[in-house]
Chains A and B, each alone.
Chain A
Amino acid sequence: MKQQIIISGLGGQGALTITRVLAEAAAALGLEVLTSETHGMAQRGGTVISMIKVGPFRGPLIPAGRADVGLFLHAKNLGVHRFYLRGDAGVFVNAGVPGNYQGVDAGSLARQLGAPVAANLILLGYAAGKGGLFCEADLLEQVIREKTPARFREINLKALRAGVDAAAA
């Protein structure tokens, strides 16, 4: 099993959280995993990117044109980071308007849940629901239940499920 995933967003949108969830999920499946994250100045609302490499890799970066999956927390970032994706990659975008990608209005759904910051997990649930990830939504749910601090646990689980439901709709 090998899968290379990028997560693109703006600092503060929770790219790091879903990076960690995916890494834990890979480890739970007994797979090797390497991730790379953006820290520092860019975290203050600037463009950030995480990369997740599942399988026997040694380096944490995904070369341009090689990612199998892209999760975009902000549609604007498609122009910035889409070049990392293969031509036939799964592209999942937090967007209210349709485009050449699979979109879900995670922002609005998150506000409906009363947790505008949980759009990240909605997008993750959506990608899993569409069968785009190396693991099933159930495993992600289990990881979130075990690894999330108590005060975010319920809302994160709700958000993930909302994403999975949106994928089925």
Chain B
Amino acid sequence: MEKENLKQIEQRILMGNEAIARGLIESGVTLAASYPGTPASEILQAVAAFAKEEAIPLHAEWSVNEKVAFETALANSYTGRRAAVSMKQVGLNVASDPFLRSAYLGVKGGLVVISADDPGPHSSQTEQDSRFFAMFAKVPVFDPSSPREAKEMVDRAFELSEKYEIPVMIRPTTRVCHARQNIPLLTPERLAQGAHFEKNPGRWCATPQYLKELHRGLNQKIEEIAGEEDFYPILTPGDDSFPGACIIASGVALAHTWDLLEEMRLLRRLDLYQVTLPYPLHRAFINNIKGRYQRVLVLEETYPVIELQLAVDQVQGRGTKMVPGAGELTPEVIRPVIEKFLDLPPAPAVISLGGEATRPTLCAGCGHRAAFYAIRETFPEGIFPSDIGCYTLGMNLGAVDTCHCMGAGISQAAGFYRAYAATGEKVPPIVATIGDSTFFHAGVPALINAVFHGARIMVVILDNATTAMTGHQPTPETGPTARGETAHPVLLADLVRACGAGLLKEADPYDLPGFMDLLQEAGEYCRGDNGGVAVVIAKHPCILEREARKHQPVLEMCVTEDCTGCRHCLDDFECPALYLDEATDQVVIDGARCIGCGVCVHVCPAGAIEAKAKDQS
């Protein structure tokens, strides 16, 4: 593809995810698809925002899940147009099916797969390494150490992808995604990219008879990429103060190592290599390391991808337990590793004061709190499988017993039902909770399966009309699209009916007594003669949405002298706006946090919480 000259236009402070988005725009991406997930959520939003700013008519979408996002981007690439798909690392698990095969069949227009890892993890259910996944798939992967580098890698990734007709991954981690840095912007490329799908069933439909050949071709591509001069690791040479020793690092571990070496006055005193393309690791590099060094320290997150490819005895890393096998490689973790590797005296450890971090909780006034409280009060003996989103915090209310992966709550509910039903014991009430966005993502097949097999379970869809946890992305029911256009809404209730649920009710959980009655009814249906799956849609918009707040009354709340200090509202309802005044041993409402939703009125057993309409004067 012919390019115009890229001109720097300005510097801007960009978050890593925005930097990646800017890179996509500057490289002439024509389609970007994603499903939100921390730490990757801001990428697609920023693609849409930059496209608007630059008046570029690309297609950006919040797909219903990562598999759909991947396949949509893939077909766009088949027509010769540049495409990108972004997700968090566990999203790649969902997209793994199309991902693995796309390596065999290859691509036409560049296809960049951004899979953001979360070492730690900070906000994920695993700390898996997408680079390992890329190696498994035989897909080249870039590992940026900063937002600026992440942006620069996008263009290199597209070029590599097009040169070898192979999908290329960029693997940022939380510390790149959510870092901000001053970054030069370039004028976006305007590539002439018409859509031309060339039919080739042997390739695009590849039946087993073609696959061996395609696999051989893939091996050949990887072989050649491992010889590309451009991807030879970057050496910052030392002065031989530590003869025969070197450090090899990639991603943000390289950035931490750099700063630490500087601080320890060790920078440029031993050879330091930055690996920008951890897979396939440069072939000549592997041989050089073997020949030149007696002691090699490898620092990478979170699995030993470089280490395994080096496969030489001199390597110190996860294999030799020099580097911890789990957790984030923070500066505090890396420093003692370097000291040990170089035989230096350890710096005195910094002692934490041992203060306790505050756990997160559902917002004051969140509709989920009301729904969870109702569920647990109605079914004190219940089993409560749940799912992934803000509502996982229902754990704090004792209304979330399991949380596994997107959509698992409904299937697990059915599994629990089978276990108890099979033993002939009394089946406890089983109530799965799942958010609206999660239901669209992976809940639908689980619901179909539960209905078909006659599981007697309740499913409460917590419908807050948004994907709240990740920054309020639209759902297929609410819209609009990522580019702010009106969409064709798909209604939750229609879907649930179409899945065949025997009972469907919708209600606002703010009306606690009414909502608890509904749950009773659902429970009776489950247990009844022809019982099956009962679905209750708990509808209350996320109160962090400005629009939503405008449509709900704001009540003036007070706690009367009748408060007995029983702690029921604190322990079992857990609104962060309620706290115990130690002096009086009575509950008080924090006026700065209370949004006046009035739900707690129904919670107090002594009737001591009162609400009155707010004085409008």
Contact = CB atoms under 8 A, between A and B. Distances in A.
Contact of A47 (B179, B182, B358): B358
Interface residues of B, number: 51
B332 A63 contact: yes
Interface of A is mostly: mixed
A50 to B, nearest CB: 9
Given A38-B122, A42-B123, A45-B576, A83 B351 contact: yes
A32 B182 contact: yes
Contacts of B355: 76-82
A45 B361 contact: yes
B180 A35 contact: yes
Contact of A41 (B181, B182, B360): B360
A83 B353 contact: yes
A111 B359 CA distance: 25
A153 interface: no
A36 B359 contact: no
A113 interface: no
Interface stretch (B25-33, B51-59, B251-259): B251-259
Interface in A31-80: 32-47, 57-66, 76-80
B124 to A, nearest CB: 8
A159 interface: no
B180 A19 contact: yes
B138 to A, nearest CB: 31
A20 B13 contact: yes
Interface in B1-18: 11, 13, 15
Nearest to B359: A46
A23 interface: yes
Contact of B179 (A24, A42, A60, A64): A60
Given A41-B469, A42-B360, A58 B255 contact: yes
A78 B357 CA distance: 10
Contact of A46 (B13, B258, B332, B360): B360
A167 interface: no
A44 B363 contact: yes
Given A19-B180, A33-B13, A63-B260, A44 B362 contact: yes
A23 B178 CA distance: 13
B553 interface: no
A40 B122 contact: yes
Interface hub of B123, B146, B259, B352 (most chain A Cβ within 10 A): B259
A118 B178 CA distance: 23
Contact of A58 (B11, B145, B178): B145
Contacts of B563: none
A101 B331 CA distance: 26
Contacts of A20: 13, 180
A79 B175 contact: no
Given A44-B363, A59-B256, A64-B332, A79 B356 contact: yes
A58 B38 contact: no
A46 B330 CA distance: 21
Interface in B331-366: 331-332, 335, 350-363
B214 interface: no
A135 interface: no
Contacts of B392: 41
A96 to B, nearest CB: 14
Nearest to A85: B350
A23 B14 CA distance: 10
Most B CB atoms within 10 A — which of A11, A39, A46, A107? A39
A106 interface: no
B145 A78 contact: no
A23 B180 contact: yes
B233 interface: no
A156 B182 CA distance: 23
Counting from the closest, the 7 A-B pairs by CB-CB distance are A79-B355, A40-B123, A46-B360, A59-B255, A40-B38, A63-B331, A64-B350
Given A59-B331, A60-B179, 14 more contacts: A19-B180, A23-B180, A33-B13, A39-B38, A39-B178, A41-B392, A45-B363, A59-B256, A59-B259, A63-B263, A63-B332, A66-B263, A82-B353, A83-B352
Interface of B: 11, 13, 15, 38-39, 41, 122-123, 145-146, 175-176, 178-182, 252, 254-260, 263, 330-332, 335, 350-363, 390, 392-393, 469-470, 576, 592
